């Protein structure tokens, strides 16, 4: 994507109004670098290095900057935003980004390494209950782990949350400050929800956690499914299995920092690989997604991961993977009307390659990929569709909220 002079100037200043970006024709592929695992091959056509999509024309506007490691954004019905900062602050920010106030009442977080205050989301019944959910790194016996809580957001007077309830704690806690995962997805949220939610959980990176990603007696490297109050849905896949955690939905995951429900109501996730092997998955009940037995890519040292396998019977293949990695965080499916050509497309933030990936999905497969915002050079931590139909992203390094609208 080509940068315009104004866009580069605005990017340097980190927030001087609007900037416009456009591109030319389709690229042969969006990835020109050689893979780290050059001897590995995709399991099916289109599983990696999709053709480039026709370039989009869009405008960017920096609404706010100076946030400290912002991690997640959620929109209130009136257009105001809830934005988490990893050190432990939850902010209420005006729709135009100009006013910001901290929300009181959250429990303490373990703000160390990759830990801290992470995802935030409105309950599907927010209009009736005022409930919001957040997940965070929690300190405890043995180290730390991912926890999820909910509370009633009160905006009458100083903003605060009340009646806070911890609805989930990852087990076991480990002496690691890495790979917390921590994204929510609420099925059928636009229609009031089905009374459940999904939560993604990393395997904490260290060898002890990695070994447990495919074990079913703990919740490391898992997607879990819970009722809104934290109880276990009766329709979960491992209900009644002795020695198996009943909240588990799927397993064999590494570090999932992206989760969303598509327009058809299906759960999708994106997880970090090591040196190669970022994965887009569609987790289904009771299935094993392979980590660490199978993976595309290599260890950070360049050595094979385990036996270097990319496939094994009984383990699921990713819908799509990246090698080299993009370091993904945040996922949203576009359902708005501002960008007619984006309907149904998935958008994934890239921390490592500093862009927003647009994935064109047809028949459950990625058929094209476009990389937006590369000209800004920002680490994209989260992406959300706003109530106005625009896309909004959080930047990890600039601490910005950037609005993307048609050019």
Asked whether 204 and 176 are in contact (CB, 8 A), the reply is yes
- Going by C-alpha positions, the residue among 239, 237, 359, 214 that lies closest to residue 293 is 214
Is 41 one of the annotated active-site residues of the chain? no
Residue count (the chain): 407
Of the residues 179, 253, 272, 355, only one is catalytic, namely: 179
Residue 325 tokens read as 């990695």
Burial class (CB in 10 A: 0-12, 13-18, 19+), 66: exposed
Residue 324 tokens read as 């080299």
| pLDDT per position as a tens digit, 284-317 | 999 999 999 999 999 999 999 999 999 999 999 9
| pLDDT per position as a tens digit, 222-270 | 999 999 999 999 999 999 999 999 999 999 999 999 999 999 999 999 9
Distance, CA of 54 to CA of 57 (rounded, Å):
10
Chain centroid to Cα 63, Å, comes to 21
- Going by C-alpha positions, the residue among 186, 236, 242, 245 that lies closest to residue 214 is 245
Burial class (CB in 10 A: 0-12, 13-18, 19+), 99: exposed
CB atoms closer than 10 angstroms to residue 189:
20
Question: Given CA atoms 294, 347, 223, 144 in this order, what sign does their dihedral have?
Answer: positive
- Say whether 93 sits in a helix, a strand or coil: strand
Residue 160 tokens read as 């605060």
- Tell me the pTM: 0.93
Distance, CA of 316 to CA of 274 (rounded, Å):
18
pLDDT by residue for the chain (407 residues), tens digit each?
323 333 332 333 333 345 665 543 344 688 999 999 999 999 999 999 999 999 999 999 999 999 999 999 999 999 999 999 999 999 999 999 999 999 999 999 999 999 999 999 999 999 999 999 999 999 999 999 999 999 999 999 999 999 999 999 999 999 999 999 999 999 975 566 799 999 999 999 999 999 999 999 999 999 999 999 999 999 999 999 999 999 999 999 999 999 999 999 999 999 999 999 999 999 999 999 999 999 999 999 999 999 999 999 999 999 999 999 999 999 999 999 999 999 999 999 999 999 999 999 999 999 999 999 999 999 999 999 999 999 999 999 999 999 999 99
Residue 29 tokens read as 């592929």
Strand pairing report for 320-322 and 278-281:
antiparallel
Residue 287 tokens read as 């299935």
């Amino acid at each position: 994507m080509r940068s315009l002079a104004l866009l580069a100037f605005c990017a340097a200043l980190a927030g001087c109004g609007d900037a416009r970006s456009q591109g030319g024709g389709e690229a042969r592929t969006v990835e020109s670098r050689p893979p780290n695992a050059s001897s590995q091959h995709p399991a099916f056509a289109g599983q990696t290095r999709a053709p480039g999509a026709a370039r989009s024309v869009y405008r960017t506007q920096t609404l706010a900057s100076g946030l400290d490691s912002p991690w997640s954004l959620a929109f209130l019905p009136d257009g105001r935003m809830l934005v988490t900062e990893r050190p432990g602050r939850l902010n209420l920010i005006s729709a135009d980004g100009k006013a910001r106030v901290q929300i009181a009442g959250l429990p303490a977080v373990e703000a160390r390494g990759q830990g801290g205050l992470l995802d935030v989301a409105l309950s599907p019944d927010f209009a009736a209950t005022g409930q919001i959910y957040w997940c965070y790194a929690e300190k405890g016996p043995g180290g730390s782990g991912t926890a999820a809580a909910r509370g009633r957001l009160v905006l009458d007077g100083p903003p605060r949350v009340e009646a806070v309830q911890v609805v989930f704690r990852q087990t076991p806690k480990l002496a690691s400050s890495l790979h917390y995962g921590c994204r929510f997805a609420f099925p059928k949220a636009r229609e009031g929800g089905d009374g459940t939610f999904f939560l993604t959980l990393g395997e904490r990176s260290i060898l002890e956690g990695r070994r447990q990603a495919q074990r079913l007696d703990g919740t490391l490297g898992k997607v879990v499914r819970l009722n809104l109050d934290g109880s276990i849905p009766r329709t979960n896949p491992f209900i009644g299995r002795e020695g198996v955690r009943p909240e588990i939905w799927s397993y064999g995951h590494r570090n999932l920092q992206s989760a969303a429900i598509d327009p058809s109501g299906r759960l999708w996730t994106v997880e970090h690989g090591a040196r190669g092997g970022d994965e887009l998955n569609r987790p289904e009940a009771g299935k094993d997604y392979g980590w660490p037995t199978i993976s595309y890519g290599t260890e950070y040292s360049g050595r094979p991961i385990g036996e270097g396998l990319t496939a094994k019977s009984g383990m699921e293949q990713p819908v799509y993977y990246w090698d080299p990695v993009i370091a993904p965080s945040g996922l949203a499916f576009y359902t708005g009307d501002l960008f007619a050509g984006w309907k149904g497309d998935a958008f994934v933030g890239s921390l490592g390659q500093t862009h927003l990936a647009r994935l064109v999905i047809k028949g459950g497969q990625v058929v094209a990929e476009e990389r937006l915002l590369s000209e800004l050079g920002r680490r994209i931590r989260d992406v959300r569709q706003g109530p106005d139909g625009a896309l909004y992203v959080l930047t990890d390094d600039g601490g910005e909220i950037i609005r993307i609208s048609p050019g």
